[in-house]
Structure 1
Amino acid sequence: MDVLAANTLSKRDSFYSFRSGWLALIITISTLLLTLIPLPALPIESPIHFTDVTDTAGIHFEHTDGATGAFHLPETLGAGGAFLDYNNDGYLDLYLVNSAAPNILYRNNGDGTFTDVTTSAGVSNQGSYGHGVACGDYNNDNYIDLYVTNFGANRLYHNNGNGTFTDVTVKSDTGDARWSSSATFFDYNIDGYLDLYVVNYLNYKLDIPYPPCFENPAFGAAEKVRGYCHPKHFEGAPDRLYRNNGDGTFTDATKAANIRDPGGMFLGKGLGVVAADFDADGNPDLYVANDDTPNYLFYNKGDGTFAEIAILTGCAYSAEGIAQAGMGVDAGDYNGDGFLDLFITNFSYETNTLYRNNGDGTFTDVSYKARLGEESYLSLGFGTGFFDADNDGNLDIFIANGHIFPTVERTTDVLSYKQPNQLFWNQGDSTFAEIQLDKQPTVSRGTLFGDYDNDGDTDLLITQLNDKATLLRNESKTPNNWLRLKLIGTRSNRDGIGTRVTLTIGAESQTREVHVGSSYLSSNDPRVLFGVGQQTVVDQLKIRWQSGIVQILENLAVNQELVITEPLSELKVR
């Protein structure tokens, strides 16, 4: 396996025109290749079931990349979206980012349908080339605001509380003009106000006539195929950390917080980010998924600064010591040990990577051990997330797949441009089994997770490159119960982002942490949803707010949503 991994690392370059020789020969000889590529297990049947309700829900969004034939790299990234309750009616609304067309805000009507309210709300991002979105109530006024990342200047939309938004980018000083991908709101200095981390990708300019790149042909053809250039040709763009001043403005705290290397700024070519407290010390850390460069783990030192420790802790490279092409990322406790683990989607001829948090400040790549390695070897993953698809109490994993090269099938006979998405069911023993889903291949990008119909399970929204978004309603037939929490901070940020919740029934516990910006270019349901199997009473909920206040609730009925407000002091309710 190690030899195979080493030999196939450069296959990605062959699609960008840089490697040939015996690698190209392997690609063309399908019989030999099939003997080398690890074979995944067959998907299993399951009561987990999702139904495409896009049309009946009134979602008529279609992404467009605006390609002109010049093969500009921004055309390959696609765009994401967000589940959010912008009008506080208790139902998740939907914001979808477009690239060469306006973004769309859909209001949830509460009956399974949505209405386009973009024009009246004023959040079209008109004139910008959009990629991602982060959601958070940055001024603690009880209304969710939007931060949209673009190729070019980003935008911060302040929610006015009356169904409209105001562009406050200039006033807030958050309009990073670089090529931004993902972003997330989090409170890194625990002052009760949400700060903002913006992931930037490449130093890429449309007005520079870059030399064209070609992909190596397959099947012995002499003609090369024009394609997109490898990101290795471009310098990475530094990320940005904006500290919330508490008055509607932000300060660029990137250097002050040590989000930089000794030579200046970290240039990691980032695409995904998640903020989570990986060492459970009460301070939110940052993990950034980088493309073809080592990933970053910024450890929050609790004094307003960070230390980059991914290499030291074992989550910068794969188990083979390879810097993979990170796309999407999420954090969650898949094995129930109380520590948040990491999952990252990567390129074809790489595996997606599951890093187990060892609880001692280190991580271990357990992708193959968890049966997630072979199954992802030929796919190219983007949007992803930990979620409990069947409410059995174990976190499952969804992956949105799709290649970036429309001509990939002319260069190899084992990869495809459109690819099926994947759902991996957590078997409760730290391993996963792929669930049989609708195998209709797509060119997917972002994935949003949220219970839009409030029926107690997690639904999915998948964005696609140059195609329609897909809303998948969770209609799994299981007897399992659930408990959902909406958290309202008082001393902590109002969204409750960064709050850690531990649910206990008997000797079993589950740990969740509120983070909404993850997956790929996307933002998720801020509420916490626990699946509890066939249990009917929750013995204890332990809520650790970012302020340090601990709140304990006991003997709770299931199949309900609890709205929990942070107390002003320690509180235990039986």
Structure 2
Amino acid sequence: MKRRRANINPPLKLPPSRWGETFFTQPRVAPPALKRHLVACCVGMALLILGAAGVTAIGKPEPFVDVSEAAGITATHRGHWELFEDDFASGYLGIGQAWGDYDRDGWLDLYVTGNRDPSVLYRNQGDGAFVVSQLSPQVALDDADTGGAVWADYDNDGWLDLYVLNHGANTLFHNDGGRGFRDVTEKAGVGDAGKGTTATWGDFDGDSFLDLYVVNWSCFPECGDPNITREHDEARDTLYRNRGDGSFEDVTRLLEYDLLLGAGFSASFVDYDNDGDADIYVVNDQFKNMLGNILWRNDGAGCGLWCFSEVSIEAGARTFIHGMGLAVGDYDNDLDLDFYFSDMVNGMVLLQNQGDGAFVDMAEEAGVVVGPSSAVGWGTVFFDYDNDSWLDLYLTATEFIQFDVFSGPEGMMFEYRDYLFKNRGDGSFADATPQDWLVDLKPSMGLAYADYDKDGFLDFVLGNWNEGYQLYRNTGAIGGSNNWINIRLVGGGDVNRDAIGARVTITTDDGRQLLQEVKSGSSLGAGNDTALHFGLGAATVRELRVRWPNGAEEMLSDVEVNQFLEVAYAG
């Protein structure tokens, strides 16, 4: 039977938002604490009254509600301000949030990093609430300055392991059958001495064991000098090959050295050219070594082990911006994967995949440019929040006020609005940001999505710099009658257990095709749920085709909609 949620409060027909044209030109001078207090005084009571009904203060249906307190998500985040005092390069803007079912009870759990505060592992109780796991102290990393985090079953034993990026050596925790976590960093050889921001898992050599790409933003003071030079080896990004015995080999030599020294913020293994293997796209900040973004094409075996070609310029993907977060998805439903990445002050970039190995920036035409403005974009994701079959876009942001950024992050981490863009289905997006979000400002950096309550609508967790984490539940008020299907792929044999790199193509009853790929690690220091959630609108599924990472294909026909479907590799 189809599960649907009634849209009790139909949308009001309001004029489109004009904030993108006027809001950024007026600097704010009130300190963040005062601004937050004023917002609470002015709108807090209205939100309290209307929030339970899924309606905003102006009567418009509310797509998401903050359920942090009710759900038990109270973790704090405390930035290490002192690191920025002498030189901005010595600082660390680390934040992390990752979804994964570590205890295999069928409910997605949540891990969040605290930077200077202890990190927290929350266990999903299956009733909409979370509790701090009894295992949380084992992964708290009390003495580390923590950043990004991502789950993956690197040893294919059926249990999700946890990789945490730090200011300095990173940490790999092995999941001992849900009974506890062990720090196996030294044994695995994935400590990495840089300043990690985001990590991404993918099987680049097709041996069924997940490899790891670590993005580093400089490494000062570990390297002894704030300047990024060839002599500072730890400043570079790192590519690790999984040997399959619990250890990894540093194979960064396979990549061109000079192109690894950017101030990296995010990356993703992704098959951008549809040839069946895992390529790598890296988003770099423009700080002291202006490389631009880097696209590594996977060319297969050879070159001493494996061949990668840097094709950024020829592919039109060598964008020179202050790159931060990265979203990957087929926003235009043309069966190839596109990139959206956030920038600082000068707008954002939407690279539309042309299907021939090339990209074109369509951000302005698509209506997802934010700026020129005082916005600093951070974590970002493609996700279909209204289940209409078109991937929507979420962007977190803070505000840049001080022009002397070298004075520290205080100048770029002021509270600001986030952006929710609704995909119109014609190549463009509409700003669908709830009006309440334009006044309830936050210093948002981190973002990761999942359907944590298994109601068929994607929710998300938000990481706020120097404050803490918020859990937003999708109310279903927008698109509540639309169909959907949530697909979790399970590997085995010569396919990695998480099926990372696998693809699902759905053909609907009206002949349309939708594509998604299983990915682990992107946005900014984030781990989205690896299940593939397809909104379908009014359509049903005529055919569901899986392309596994080893190239094998599997097809299912006339699949029931509005269900959570697990597909296991049968090879």
TM range (shorter): 0.7 to 0.9
Q: What's 1:567 paired with?
A: 570
- Per-residue CA deviation, residues 398-424 of structure 1 (Å, 9 max, x unaligned), is 00111366788999xx99821101100
After TM superposition, the structure 1 = structure 2 runs for residues 352-431 of structure 1, keeping only pairs within 5 Å, are 352-374=348-370, 377-403=373-399, 417-431=414-428
Q: Structure 2 vs 1, CA of residues 101 and 338 (structure 1 numbering), >3 Å: closer, same or farther?
A: same
Deviation of the 1:66 alpha carbon: 3.1
Name the aligned partner's letter for residue 445 of structure 1.
M
- Preserved CA contact (<8 Å) 2:259 2:294: no
Name the aligned partner's letter for residue 79 of structure 2.
D
Q: Structure 2 vs 1, CA of residues 485 and 451 (structure 1 numbering), >3 Å: closer, same or farther?
A: same
Q: What's 2:133 paired with?
A: 117
Deviation of the 1:266 alpha carbon: 2.2
SS of 1:122's partner is helix
Which residue of the other structure, out of 200, 205, 214, is the alignment partner of 1:184? Answer: 200
- Preserved CA contact (<8 Å) 1:260 1:266: yes
Structure-2-length-normalised TM-score: 0.82
After TM superposition, the structure 1 = structure 2 runs for residues 117-196 of structure 1, keeping only pairs within 5 Å, are 117=133, 119=135, 122-196=138-212
Counterparts of 1:442 and 1:342 in 2: how far apart (Å)?
25
The 10-residue stretch of structure 1 (121-130 or 183-192) with the greater mean CA deviation from structure 2: 121-130
Confirm whether residue 325 of structure 1 aligns to residue 352 of structure 2. Answer: no
- Preserved CA contact (<8 Å) 1:408 1:417: no
- Per-residue CA deviation, residues 415-461 of structure 1 (Å, 9 max, x unaligned), is 98211011000000000000132221111111011111011111010
SS of 2:545's partner is strand
Which residue of the other structure, out of 432, 444, 452, is the alignment partner of 1:435? Answer: 432
Unaligned ranges ≥5, structure 1? 1-43, 211-229, 318-322, 569-574
Q: Structure 2 vs 1, CA of residues 203 and 75 (structure 1 numbering), >3 Å: closer, same or farther?
A: closer
Which residue of the other structure, out of 535, 540, 544, is the alignment partner of 2:543? Answer: 540
SS of 1:97's partner is strand
The 10-residue stretch of structure 1 (168-177 or 398-407) with the greater mean CA deviation from structure 2: 398-407
Q: What's 2:460 paired with?
A: 460
Which residue of the other structure, out of 248, 252, 271, is the alignment partner of 1:277? Answer: 271
- Preserved CA contact (<8 Å) 1:121 1:165: no
Q: Structure 2 vs 1, CA of residues 115 and 168 (structure 1 numbering), >3 Å: closer, same or farther?
A: same
Confirm whether residue 530 of structure 1 aligns to residue 534 of structure 2. Answer: yes
Q: What's 1:549 paired with?
A: 552
SS of 1:543's partner is strand
Considering only aligned residues, what root-mean-square deviation do their CA atoms show, in Å? 2.6
- Preserved CA contact (<8 Å) 2:483 2:537: yes
Q: What's 1:297 paired with?
A: 295
SS of 2:414's partner is coil
Q: Structure 2 vs 1, CA of residues 159 and 337 (structure 1 numbering), >3 Å: closer, same or farther?
A: same
Deviation of the 1:120 alpha carbon: 5.3
Counterparts of 1:417 and 1:497 in 2: how far apart (Å)?
36
Q: Structure 2 vs 1, CA of residues 177 and 283 (structure 1 numbering), >3 Å: closer, same or farther?
A: same
SS of 1:68's partner is helix
- Per-residue CA deviation, residues 79-118 of structure 1 (Å, 9 max, x unaligned), is 0110111011111100001211211100001111111126
Deviation of the 1:70 alpha carbon: 5.2
Name the aligned partner's letter for residue 273 of structure 2.
D
Counterparts of 1:181 and 1:133 in 2: how far apart (Å)?
9
Name the aligned partner's letter for residue 376 of structure 2.
L
SS of 2:186's partner is helix
Which residue of the other structure, out of 506, 523, 529, is the alignment partner of 1:519? Answer: 523
Counterparts of 2:109 and 2:424 in 1: how far apart (Å)?
32
Name the aligned partner's letter for residue 160 of structure 1.
D
Structure-1-length-normalised TM-score: 0.81
Deviation of the 1:379 alpha carbon: 1.6
Deviation of the 1:67 alpha carbon: 2.3
Which residue of the other structure, out of 347, 351, 375, is the alignment partner of 2:347? Answer: 351
- Preserved CA contact (<8 Å) 1:135 1:184: no
Q: Structure 2 vs 1, CA of residues 407 and 309 (structure 1 numbering), >3 Å: closer, same or farther?
A: closer
Aligned-residue identity in percent: 37
Q: What's 1:89 paired with?
A: 105
Unaligned ranges ≥5, structure 2? 1-57
- Preserved CA contact (<8 Å) 2:228 2:261: no
Confirm whether residue 492 of structure 1 aligns to residue 495 of structure 2. Answer: yes
- Preserved CA contact (<8 Å) 1:65 1:75: no
Q: Which runs of 4+ in 1 moved over 3 A?
A: 44-48, 72-76, 118-121, 206-210, 374-378, 403-411
Deviation of the 1:68 alpha carbon: 3.4
Counterparts of 1:307 and 1:481 in 2: how far apart (Å)?
41
Q: What's 1:483 paired with?
A: 485
